[in-house]
Structure 1
Amino acid sequence: MFKKIISRLPYSPSMIHSLGFYAKRLRKEEATRKIGLILTALALIVQSFTIFSPPESANAADSSDLIYGGISSGSQLLAHYDANTNNIHDLYNHLGISRSDLEAATGNLQTLNSNMGTYSWGLTPHFGASRGEGSYVVRTSQGGARTFYYRPHNLWGNFTYRAFVGYSAGTGWFAIMLNCGNLILKFAPPNHHCPTGQVGTYPNCSTPPKPVATCNALDIKKNGDAYQLTADASAANGATIQQYIYNIYRNNTLIKTITSNDKIVTYTEKTPGSYKVVLTVKSSLGDKTSDACVKTFTIPEPERCPQNPKLLKDDPQCQPCPGDSTIWINDSRCSASFVQTKTATNLTQNNANATTTVAKSGDRITYTLSVKNKGLKEEEFVFKDQVSDLLEYADIFDPGGGSLTDDKGASTGSGNAKTLVWNPVKIKPGETQQRSFTIQIKSNIPAMARGKSNPTSYDCRIDNTFGNTVSTKVDCPAPKVIEQTTSQLPKTGASENMLFAGIVSAVVVFFYARSRQLNKEVRIVRRDMSAGTL
């Protein structure tokens, strides 16, 4: 059209009106293509968000996460460490991982596999001790203690994950998973120990007192005509015990002095009477004695304790074990030994075994917790059952006298673990106690995708562990299956979309530039016509 008008213009000046009409159309076309160019640029900007801010899974966090919801950068990891989120600062300090170790690890992002023989740490148990899962108590900076759980990483399945990888003098190689913030080590945790300068059994550690030496007690045991005198003295923080001096009195008259470097000495006496033994401890802080280091005895002595000959018969500690009268009550053999078992019955499906049937919408399942005391001593037991996995597909229909509470050891927020707890009960030797509760499968079974940091979450199974693990399949709805099979569809991610948008942009820019060029040429022609040079 443009060439036709220009070629005829020298021979037909009236064509200048057609040229003006064409110029107006070109201006409108240029404005339209400019709008198209702007809209294409905006689409590219929106599309870029899918690259820099990828979508998160609807089930991307779990109550076992050390950092709920995971991390996406090294600065987030260090911020959670400084805030002591879920006591990770306390855990890392205890294991010997410093902040500088973590900061160095944030510069080493790697892709790892769960089948590397490593151990995964979390806040809640999932697999039980029979499968290699262990617990680890760490003293917190708030003055209490917190239990962490570690298990072989391959129990979660065979998968790859992104993690910050570092090295510390305390643990050697370590990794921090991005999707959950969990710690990965190549070995089971070391034995607990108190910090340098403290004494006690972890986590009950304490700073030792000032240098001190005391005479704590004197013990007298009779064996025939021989009396075994045992000293109980202590010295700490540099103080030392040098000698033990036993002054023996009969009827308030000193009859013998025994000086020894040993705590235990033997004194033989047959003469009837009332005796008093005064123990004096020679120490680097001087001579020490106390009322507890003064003992009396009379000849003849009363009978000995039948279960423990080291005690007198009327000693308050002389008591038989409830399960075996021949054993002392404080003997290591006289203790409780609890054995926990669990069964599940699908009431709706004719009381079938819940582990061999598929639970359907509305089904009611009764779980029975059994505890038997196979020991020799009565002891208190608290029934506890972690039911978070059950509540993904079911509701508590009848708690059976238990109370549903949040597990305070789990992370806060929407990821709280739920636990059914019953009142403490004393269980006698050989006795079995049971507790039962009933759940009902939800009328609308969730089609939630399998958990990202916890593959056992929303996996169309409800697992429950109390001694043994009871696992029941759930009849998940069709959308659950569709969501799982979409991984087989062709991948058309952000990169492909950006490529397509780039091609569209190039086309739009071309036509916009062409419109501008034609508009400029029309202005030149009209100017030349006005000047009479055309």
Structure 2
Amino acid sequence: MFKKLVSSLPLNPSLLPEIGYYAKRLHQEESIRRIGFVMVALAMLVQMLAIVSPPKTTLAAHASNVVAGGTSKQKIQSAYSNNRDDFGRTDIQNIFGYYGITQSDINNGTIANIKSTDKNFITTGRELSTQRQSENVRVAIPGAITSFYERPLTVWDIKSAYNPYKAITGIATGNGLLKGRQFWVLIDNTWTSSADGCGNITFVQFDRKPKLEIKKEKLTAGELEPGDTADYKIYFRNTGSAVAENVTITDSLPTQFEFVSQSVVARTQPTFTQSNQTLTWTFANLAPATDYSYIVLKIKIKDISGPIEACNSATLNANNHASIKSDNSSTERCITIKEPVCPVSGKPIPPGGIDDCTKPCNDSFIDYDEDCPPPPPEPVAYIACTELKITEVKGWDTRVFQVVISAEPGAELNSVSYYSDGSKIATHKTTANAITDELSYSFSEGEHEVSAQISAKKGEVRESSTCKVVFDIEKPEELSPILTRRKSVIFTSTGANANGQTAHAGDELAFTLTAANDGTATAPNEVFRDDIADILEYADITDNGGAAYDSIALTLTWDPVDIEPGESVSKTFKVRVKNPIPSTPVAASDPLSYDNLIDNQFGTTVRVRLPKSVDKQIENVVGNLPRTGPGTVVVLSVAGFMVIGYFYYRTRLMAKELDIIKTEYISGGM
């Protein structure tokens, strides 16, 4: 158009008004392009300031952080050295030590940038994440003052395909889970502007198995005699890379041993049970460790005929490990029992036992192999066992027996011997005028015959066929508890179910924890414990329901209770929604915190929704905007600046040329 008007002007002077109109429009366009040019220049200036002075991350640390305030390598080093983070938790060395990460490993570590999808990363945290909840694995760390969980690092990839992180990385050299493996300690989550360091330990998933060891050693040296006591020590440990689950140690004592006592030195105390000669210690789990735990066992040598060598081994079992047996040499686990002799004469003990080392002779005793001269003739007085009966049942395997004695004048009782299925099980010395005697004894399952024989100090024993009893021992079926846990929440004002509903500022909510025993045995010492960290983000406790509140772990814990079969127990606490509802931004280490949702779990999970403020709506919108970053914006700004500048100066040049043409034409120069 511009070339057409200029070329036609000498031939058609009437086009001069159109030239003036066109020049006026170009001046207007020049003004508009000037404004655009200035705006783009200002935008570039703002972007350059953003690059020179980037925005600072929020300090909204979360209780799930392993090291609260761990925003740099120096912060992690300080927390490790002082064993304390910004929340005052004093278990930092316990946690890092469990994974085999030492202070020097942190000091020698380098800074690296990683993505959540680079490897099959596993990360850690102190709280259960409600996102992909089934992938959270609880870890029992000795000395940790809060719960502890492991989960995939990708659990936080909520708004994008991956998240970038800055971390301290190195090789763990301590005696822990990651010994000899690479670790990462997250110090900066660069995927959100509100990110902060969390100190969460991260590593690449690997095949983790327990490795159990057990050995048994005697602490008492030399040969022993019946009646002596001896001590054993059972050493055990897990040197693998995973927790051994449901660990049991079983020790079947030889028949020559009688159990006296036991004690355990371990990180957790087991449940101990005894069934006849079988001793069992049950642990919930056995964590990896380099040092041995041990059991000290005291036994007593029974009255036996000897000499004999009694050897003893212990067995270690776990749900996720094959059964192993202590394989020490016989010199370490076997005890030599000397042949017993009569206490006074030193002669071999007769077949009847130590009680038969002497025998009555007139008014005294003589050795069993000596002949007793005939006593002066006396009238014969008879003594007899008239009855043997069961008087009490203790448990399924123990019975209490009573012998009834009938004695004529002049006859005196010496002892009562008891036999089970033909074998002597006990001999009781009695007073001369005793008319009864009792014995308590434990039997194996099946039919048994128990009989009693008496010996007389004076008089003659009359044979009796009534001093025996036949009975059956039946082992009952084992009973076990089965617990079902569930959680519910209601509005206290209406009693309506609040799960899945929206609560408003000032509303009071009542959370109820219920545990029901659907099994056949009592569930002892059931502890009700509730993690309320997510609740306290938006509500305050108004009634703790008798629970103890832990301000560091953010939990409510009630006293242990026994739950009988068919019984259910409930615990309730109340909270009130804060007024106004907080608009705190989402924490970097836990994108599900401050999400206008109250999630709570006890067996089942309940969720209460909260209305979002304008600030939270803006935060959600900004979080979903494309991630361009300053570099992309600068490139686009420069390109836009050049395009707008080009058109601005082109329009300005054309307007100036038209003004010159118009002036020259009017003045007659053309």
Show the 5 A alignment for 1:162-177. 162-168=166-172, 170=179, 172-177=181-186
Asked whether the 8 Å contact 1:380–1:424 carries over to 2, the reply is yes
Q: Which residue of 2 aligns with 1:252?
A: 355
Would you say 1:355 and 2:355 are equivalent positions? no
Asked whether the 8 Å contact 2:311–2:335 carries over to 1, the reply is no
2 CA distance for matches of 1:443 and 1:311?
A: 76
Q: Which of 600, 618, 621 is residue 464 of structure 1 equivalent to?
A: 600
Q: Which residue of 2 aligns with 1:69?
A: 69
Q: Partner amino acid for 2:62?
A: D
Asked whether the 8 Å contact 1:112–1:163 carries over to 2, the reply is no
1:162 shift after superposition = 1.9
Q: Which of 123, 128, 134 is residue 125 of structure 1 equivalent to?
A: 128
Q: Which residue of 2 aligns with 1:28?
A: none
Per-residue CA distance 1:328-359 (angstroms, 9 max, x = gap): 6xx8x4343332111122345x5443233222
1 CA distance for matches of 2:91 and 2:236?
A: 22
Q: Partner amino acid for 2:334?
A: I
Show the 5 A alignment for 1:209-224. 216-218=299-301
1:446 shift after superposition = 0.9
Per-residue CA distance 1:426-459 (angstroms, 9 max, x = gap): 2112210112222222221111111111112101
2 CA distance for matches of 1:230 and 1:482?
A: 79
Per-residue CA distance 1:20-63 (angstroms, 9 max, x = gap): xxxxxxxxxxxxxxxxxxxxxxx9xx989834xx512142x111
Per-residue CA distance 1:441-488 (angstroms, 9 max, x = gap): 222111111111111210111110111221222112122111332353
1 CA distance for matches of 2:571 and 2:485?
A: 11
2 CA distance for matches of 1:206 and 1:437?
A: 43
2 CA distance for matches of 1:194 and 1:429?
A: 37
Show the 5 A alignment for 1:28-43. none
Larger Rg: 2
Q: Which of 574, 586, 589 is residue 438 of structure 1 equivalent to?
A: 574
2 CA distance for matches of 1:250 and 1:456?
A: 76
Asked whether the 8 Å contact 1:67–1:180 carries over to 2, the reply is yes
Show the 5 A alignment for 1:284-323. 297-298=426-427
Asked whether the 8 Å contact 2:311–2:333 carries over to 1, the reply is no
Say which SS state the counterpart of residue 78 (structure 1) adopts.
helix
Say which SS state the counterpart of residue 334 (structure 1) adopts.
coil
Asked whether the 8 Å contact 1:463–1:471 carries over to 2, the reply is yes
Per-residue CA distance 1:310-330 (angstroms, 9 max, x = gap): 9999xxxxxxxxxxx9766xx
Say which SS state the counterpart of residue 82 (structure 1) adopts.
helix
Would you say 1:390 and 2:517 are equivalent positions? no
Asked whether the 8 Å contact 2:91–2:145 carries over to 1, the reply is no
Q: 1:343 to 1:242 in 2, by over 3 A?
A: same
Q: Which residue of 1 aligns with 2:394?
A: none
Q: 1:362 to 1:311 in 2, by over 3 A?
A: farther
Q: Which of 194, 199, 204 is residue 181 of structure 1 equivalent to?
A: 199
Q: 1:308 to 1:470 in 2, by over 3 A?
A: farther
1 CA distance for matches of 2:594 and 2:526?
A: 32
Q: Which of 597, 622, 640 is residue 486 of structure 1 equivalent to?
A: 622
Asked whether the 8 Å contact 1:137–1:203 carries over to 2, the reply is no
Q: Partner amino acid for 1:101?
A: D
1:405 shift after superposition = 3.0
Q: Which residue of 2 aligns with 1:281?
A: none
Higher relative contact order (CA 8 A, sep 6+): 1
Please give the root-mean-square deviation of Cα atoms over the aligned residues, in Å.
5.1
2 CA distance for matches of 1:491 and 1:56?
A: 18
2 CA distance for matches of 1:489 and 1:209?
A: 56
Percentage of pairs with the same residue? 23
2 CA distance for matches of 1:187 and 1:310?
A: 56
Q: 1:242 to 1:164 in 2, by over 3 A?
A: same
Show the 5 A alignment for 1:13-28. none
Asked whether the 8 Å contact 1:118–1:185 carries over to 2, the reply is yes
Q: Which residue of 2 aligns with 1:203?
A: 267
2 CA distance for matches of 1:114 and 1:309?
A: 63
1:397 shift after superposition = 3.2
Structure in which a larger fraction of residues adopt helix: 1
Per-residue CA distance 1:291-318 (angstroms, 9 max, x = gap): xxxx9614999686689679999xxxxx
Q: Which residue of 1 aligns with 2:509?
A: 365
Q: Partner amino acid for 2:65?
A: D
Q: 1:157 to 1:93 in 2, by over 3 A?
A: same
Q: 1:357 to 1:130 in 2, by over 3 A?
A: closer
Per-residue CA distance 1:258-317 (angstroms, 9 max, x = gap): xxxxxxxxxxxxxx96489xxxxxxxxxxxxxxxxxx9614999686689679999xxxx
Q: TM-score w.r.t. structure 1 length?
A: 0.58
Q: Which of 79, 85, 89 is residue 93 of structure 2 equivalent to?
A: 89
Q: 1:180 to 1:490 in 2, by over 3 A?
A: closer
Show the 5 A alignment for 1:87-166. 87-104=91-108, 106-113=109-116, 116-127=119-130, 131-140=134-143, 148-158=148-158, 159-166=163-170
Q: Which moved more, 1:358-367 or 1:429-438?
A: 358-367
Asked whether the 8 Å contact 2:121–2:153 carries over to 1, the reply is yes
Would you say 1:428 and 2:564 are equivalent positions? yes
Q: 1:495 to 1:126 in 2, by over 3 A?
A: closer
Q: Which residue of 2 aligns with 1:531?
A: none
Show the 5 A alignment for 1:233-248. 239-241=332-334, 243-244=336-337, 247=340
Say which SS state the counterpart of residue 68 (structure 1) adopts.
coil
1:489 shift after superposition = 8.9
Say which SS state the counterpart of residue 452 (structure 1) adopts.
coil
Asked whether the 8 Å contact 2:131–2:592 carries over to 1, the reply is no
1:122 shift after superposition = 2.1
Q: TM-score w.r.t. structure 2 length?
A: 0.47
2 CA distance for matches of 1:421 and 1:209?
A: 29
Would you say 1:405 and 2:550 are equivalent positions? yes
Q: Which of 320, 323, 343 is residue 488 of structure 2 equivalent to?
A: 343
2 CA distance for matches of 1:195 and 1:80?
A: 37
Runs of 5+ unmatched residues, structure 1? 1-42, 222-228, 256-271, 277-294, 314-324, 407-415, 501-534
Q: Partner amino acid for 2:202?
A: I
Q: Partner amino acid for 1:430?
A: G
